[in-house]
Amino acid sequence: MTDVRVVENATCTFCGCVCDDIILTVEGDRITQAKNACTLGKAWFTEHTIEDRPVALVDGREAALQEAVEAAARILVESRFPVIYGLSDTTCEAQREAVAIADYIGANIDTTTSVCHGPSGIAFQGVGESTATLGEIKNRADLVIYWGGNPAEAHPRHFTRYSVTPKGMFVPRGRKDRTVVLVDVRRTPSARAADIFIQVKPGKDFEVLWALRALVKGRPVPSFIEEETGVPLATLQDLVERMKNCRYGVLFFGMGLTMTRGRHFNSGALLALVTDLNEYTHFVAKPVRGHGNVTGADNVLSWQTGFPFAVNFSRGFPRFNPGEFTTVDLLARGEADAALIIASDPASNFPRPAIEHLRRIPVIALDPKPTYTTDIAKVAFTTATYGINVAGTVYRMDDVPIYLRPAFPSPYPSDEEVLRAIKVRVCELLDIPLPNGKHH
Partner 1 sequence: MGEKMLLIAGRSTKQGVSLNVGKHSPEYQEVVTTLEMNPDDMARLGLKDGDRVRLRSKVGEVIVRCKARKPDDLPSGVAFLPFGPASTQLMGGDTAATGMPLSKNIEVEVEPVDSDQ
* Closest of 79, 141, 87 to residue 114, by C-alpha: 87
Task: Select from 160, 163, 304, 326 the one that contacts partner 1 (CB under 8 A).
Answer: 326
Given CA atoms 124, 125, 126, 129 in this order, what sign does their dihedral have?
A: positive
Work out how close the CB of 184 gets to ligand SF4 at its nearest, in angstroms, rounded to a whole number.
19
* Closest of 276, 272, 242 to residue 141, by C-alpha: 242
CB nearer to ligand SF4: give 10 or 109: 10
Q: Which stretch binds partner 1 (CB under 8 A): 60-68, 136-144, 151-159, 208-216?
A: 151-159
What per-residue string of b and e applies to 239-278 under the rule 16 or more CB within 10 Å gives b? bbebbbebebbbbbbbbbbbebebbbbbbbbbbbbbbbbe
Cα 150 from chain centroid (whole Å): 15
CB nearer to ligand SF4: give 6 or 234: 6
CB nearer to ligand SF4: give 166 or 230: 166
CB nearer to partner 1: give 200 or 418: 200
Work out how close the CB of 48 gets to ligand SF4 at its nearest, in angstroms, rounded to a whole number.
13
* Closest of 35, 30, 45, 8 to residue 292, by C-alpha: 45
- 440 binding partner (options ligand SF4, partner 1, none; Cβ < 5 to 8 Å by kind): none
Task: Select from 7, 12, 358, 365 the one that contacts ligand SF4 (CB under 6 A).
Answer: 12
Task: Select from 36, 88, 95, 188 the one that contacts partner 1 (CB under 8 A).
Answer: 188
Interaction between residue 216 and partner 1 (CB under 8 A): no
Phi and psi for 212 in degrees, rounded to 5? -60, -40
Q: Which stretch binds partner 1 (CB under 8 A): 69-77, 82-90, 214-222, 254-262?
A: 254-262
Quick note: the x/- pattern for partner 1 over 157-186, rule CB under 8 A, is ----------------------------xx
Number of residues that bind partner 1 (CB under 8 A): 61
Interaction between residue 324 and partner 1 (CB under 8 A): yes
Interaction between residue 103 and partner 1 (CB under 8 A): no
Q: For residue 368, how many C-alpha atoms fall within 13 Å in the half-sphere facing its CB?
A: 18
Interaction between residue 401 and partner 1 (CB under 8 A): no
Task: Select from 329, 398, 416, 417 the one that contacts partner 1 (CB under 8 A).
Answer: 329
Between CA 269 and CA 297, with CA 323 as vertex, the angle to 5 degrees is 80
Task: Select from 69, 71, 332, 363 the one that contacts partner 1 (CB under 8 A).
Answer: 332
Site residues for partner 1, window 27-46 (CB under 8 A)? 39-40, 43-44
Q: Is 11 exposed, middle or buried (0-12, 13-18, 19+ CB in 10 A)?
A: buried
Interaction between residue 396 and partner 1 (CB under 8 A): no
Interface with ligand SF4 (CB under 6 A): 12, 14-15, 17-19, 37-38, 40-41, 155-157
Binding site for partner 1 (CB under 8 A): 14-15, 39-40, 43-44, 47-48, 110, 114-115, 118-119, 122, 150, 152-154, 156, 185-189, 199, 202-203, 255-256, 258-261, 263-264, 290, 309-310, 322-324, 326-329, 331-333, 345, 348-355, 369-372
